[in-house]
């Protein structure tokens, strides 16, 4: 169905063989995605915004931000240097995606939680999930896997005009 475009434009993602509804983006979500896009703009050749990631046979999530080294236009990338999901109301769903991204050998996954103004940074991926989880807030730095201007959690939310 996906390959034939039957679900084109529908708000769904393929996660572990199931089609999962994706919430419409609200203004806070969009503002944070845009702030992240501006931050990673110097790495435009790696930047993918809300595009599929072939994270296994039965999963093709569309992370809000992914930094990807990929040059094959005939298939979606299967891993990324960094994946970021912004959660306004989808914290539980996006937390579940951590296992998918770990299995896809994504070294760093960030879950940006709008309500708590935190970023949960997952690292040390394995087939069982991520081995390390760190909740960042305030002046904690966001460790970008590519050259980028220094950024803290507070500064990210400020750039999105949410602080």
Q: Which domains does the chain have, with CATH numbers?
A: 24-159 (3.90.1570.10)
Would you write out the chain's pLDDT as a tens digit for each of its 163 residues? 555 655 555 554 455 555 555 566 789 999 999 999 999 999 999 999 999 999 888 788 899 999 999 889 999 999 999 999 999 887 888 788 899 999 999 999 999 999 999 999 999 999 999 999 999 999 999 999 999 999 999 999 999 999 8
Among residues 60, 52, 56, 79, the alpha carbon closest in space to that of 68 is found at: 79
| Cα dihedral value 23, 97, 62, 48, nearest 10 | 120
Tokens of 90: 């989808």
């Amino acid at each position: 169905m996906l390959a034939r475009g039957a679900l084109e434009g529908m708000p769904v993602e393929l996660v572990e063989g199931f089609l999962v509804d994706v919430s419409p983006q609200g203004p806070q979500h969009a503002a944070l995605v845009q702030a992240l896009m501006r931050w990673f703009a110097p790495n435009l050749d790696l930047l993918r915004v809300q595009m599929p990631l072939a994270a296994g046979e039965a999963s093709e999530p569309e992370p809000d931000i992914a930094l990807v080294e990929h040059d094959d236009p005939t298939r979606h990338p299967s891993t990324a240097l960094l994946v970021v999901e912004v959660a306004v109301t989808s914290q539980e769903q996006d937390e579940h995606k951590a296992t998918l991204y770990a299995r896809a050998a994504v070294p760093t996954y960030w879950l940006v939680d709008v309500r708590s103004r935190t970023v949960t940074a997952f690292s040390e991926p394995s087939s069982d999930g991520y081995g390390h989880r760190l909740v960042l807030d305030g002046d904690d730095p966001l460790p970008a896997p590519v050259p980028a201007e220094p950024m803290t959690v507070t500064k990210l939310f400020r750039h999105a005009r949410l602080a």
